[in-house]
């Protein structure tokens, strides 16, 4: 009686090579998708997706998203305090913009004579964008050269980058919301400050809305 034949498994190709190639492909896909992550805060909903009403203090409302806000007043601006509020007035994305001016006041714009709003990040980021809208003072005395701005700083308080309102006064779109963006080659932006310049000439105030920040991920080894 002959012995039964022993069946041996047959592989179409070396399994080690196929597996390694598949792992490389997955790593490449992950690197592409994890190169950066952007978080956008519209100030219209809280971190849990619930609506935010006019006059809500937003200082720590987005702390779980990695961002806190405060107002840094000048001596003149101390009457405003240090909070940042959601205001349902003159927004870029409805219904809210942000301002250090509490409800029910209807003039919510600021410039450097009042102070600056500051957004701090729990982890340093590589880019920040905020939308800004300039508004002229009622008197409009002198030439219009002041601009809303966004300035980024590292953890040692060094200026990393800055951006200014991109349109010149006289442009038909001047006075509309425009994005101000600052970027860095690494995650070294610890906080940003934003307001509008204050110097000789017509006084230009600014409104702000829709803050976004980007974190670059370290590629997988």
31 located within any domain: no
Higher-confidence residue of 39 and 26: namely 39
CATH number for the domain spanning 145: value is: 2.60.120
3-class SS string, 70-124: EEEECCHHHHHCCCCEEECCCCCCCCCEEECCCCCCCCCCECCCCEEEEEEEEEE
Token couple for 20: 């390694």
Residue 17, pLDDT > 70, answer: no
Of 66-70, 127-131, 199-203, the one with minimum mean pLDDT is 199-203
**What is the rounded average pLDDT for all residues in the chain?**
89
Q: What is the pTM of this model?
A: 0.83
Write out pLDDT tens, residues 96-106: 999 999 999 99
Q: What pLDDT score does 59 carry?
A: 98
Q: Which structural domain, as residue segments, surrounds residue 170?
A: 36-216
112 located within any domain: yes
Q: What pLDDT score does 27 carry?
A: 65
193 located within any domain: yes
Residue 112, pLDDT > 60, answer: yes
CA atoms lying within 13 Å on the CB side of residue 207: 22
194 located within any domain: yes
Q: What pLDDT score does 91 carry?
A: 97
Question: Which residues, 6+ apart, have CB-to-CB distance to 61 below 8 Å?
Answer: 46, 47, 52
Write out pLDDT tens, residues 130-170: 999 999 987 777 889 999 999 999 999 999 999 999 999 99
CA atoms lying within 13 Å on the CB side of residue 82: 5
Q: What pLDDT score does 138 carry?
A: 76
46 located within any domain: yes
Looking at the 3D structure of the chain, how many domains does it have?
Answer: 1
Return d(Cα 110, Cα 101) in angstroms, integer: 9
């Amino acid at each position: 009686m002959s012995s039964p034949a022993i069946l041996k498994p047959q592989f179409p190709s070396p399994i080690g090579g196929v597996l390694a190639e598949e792992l490389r492909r997955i790593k490449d896909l992950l690197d592409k998708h994890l190169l950066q992550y952007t978080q956008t805060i519209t100030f219209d909903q809280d971190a849990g997706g619930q609506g935010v009403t006019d006059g809500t203090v937003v200082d720590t409302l987005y702390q779980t998203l990695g961002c806190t806000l405060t107002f840094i007043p000048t001596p003149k601006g101390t009457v405003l305090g240090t909070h940042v509020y959601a205001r349902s007035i003159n927004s870029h994305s409805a219904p809210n913009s942000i301002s250090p001016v509490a409800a029910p006041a209807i003039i919510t714009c600021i410039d450097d004579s009042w102070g600056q709003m500051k957004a701090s990040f729990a982890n340093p980021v590589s880019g920040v964008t905020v939308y800004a809208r300039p508004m002229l003072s009622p008197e409009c005395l002198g030439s219009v050269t002041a601009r809303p701005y966004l300035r980024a700083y590292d953890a040692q308080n060094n200026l990393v980058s800055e951006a200014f309102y991109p349109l010149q006064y006289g442009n038909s779109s001047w006075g509309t919301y425009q994005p101000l963006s600052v970027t860095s080659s690494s995650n070294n932006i610890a906080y940003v400050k934003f307001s509008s310049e204050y110097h000789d000439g017509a006084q230009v105030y600014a409104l702000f809305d829709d803050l976004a920040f980007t974190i670059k991920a370290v590629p997988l080894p």
